[in-house]
Structures are given as structure tokens and as C-alpha cells.
């Protein structure tokens, strides 16, 4: 017999993933930009990757939080 997870466990999983969304997005943006920098040779590309990763992470967090508000 399988038990149904309680509401606090579901809440913890959802918001823990949101807490990791922004750092993971920033790190992914930095890695992709650093990888591309080897061909482009533009020294500010990793910074641009960090900014783009931050924006993407914030957009995802706002989408998830606004979905909960409905």
C-alpha cells in the first residue's frame, strides 16, 4: 500500500528546486559563454553569460511563483 505524500513534503520539494534555479542558471550561462569565448575571443562574454543566466533564472522563478498565485 502506497502512502500519499503530505503537503509539506511537496511544498519543500517545489521551493527547494526554486532556490536552486537561479544559481544553476547563472552557472550554466557562465559555462556556455566561457565555452563560446574560445572561438570568439571576447573577454566580456562570460560576464554576458552570467547576466543572461541571471535573467533566465529570474524569469523562471517569476513564472513558477505566479503560477502558484493563481
In a domain, residue 14? The reply is: no
Cα separations (Å) of 57 from 8, 40, 51, 70? 24, 25, 10, 21
**7 within domain boundaries:** no
pTM of the model: 0.78
Q: How many domains does the chain have?
A: 1
Rounded to whole angstroms, the Cα distance separating 11 from 9 reads: 5
Whether 1 shows a pLDDT value over 70: the answer reads no
3-state SS assignment for residue 1? coil
Q: Which residue has the higher pLDDT, 8 or 48?
A: 48
Q: What is the pLDDT of residue 15?
A: 81
pLDDT value for 59 = 96
**Domain housing 42:** 20-69
Q: What is the pLDDT of residue 6?
A: 74
Concatenate the DSSP letters of all residues of 21-55 into one string.
HHHHHHHHHHHHHHHHHHHH--TTHHHHHHHHHHH
pLDDT tens-digit map of 29-69: 999 999 999 999 899 999 999 999 999 999 999 998 888 76
Instruction: Decide: helix, strand or coil at residue 3.
Output: coil
Amino acid at each position: 500500500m502506497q502512502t500519499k505524500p503530505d503537503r509539506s513534503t511537496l511544498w519543500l520539494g517545489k521551493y527547494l528546486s526554486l532556490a536552486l534555479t537561479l544559481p544553476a542558471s547563472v552557472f550554466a550561462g557562465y559555462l556556455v559563454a566561457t565555452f563560446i569565448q574560445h572561438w570568439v575571443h571576447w573577454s566580456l562574454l562570460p560576464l554576458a553569460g552570467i547576466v543572461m543566466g541571471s535573467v533566465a533564472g529570474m524569469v523562471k522563478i517569476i513564472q513558477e511563483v505566479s503560477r502558484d498565485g493563481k
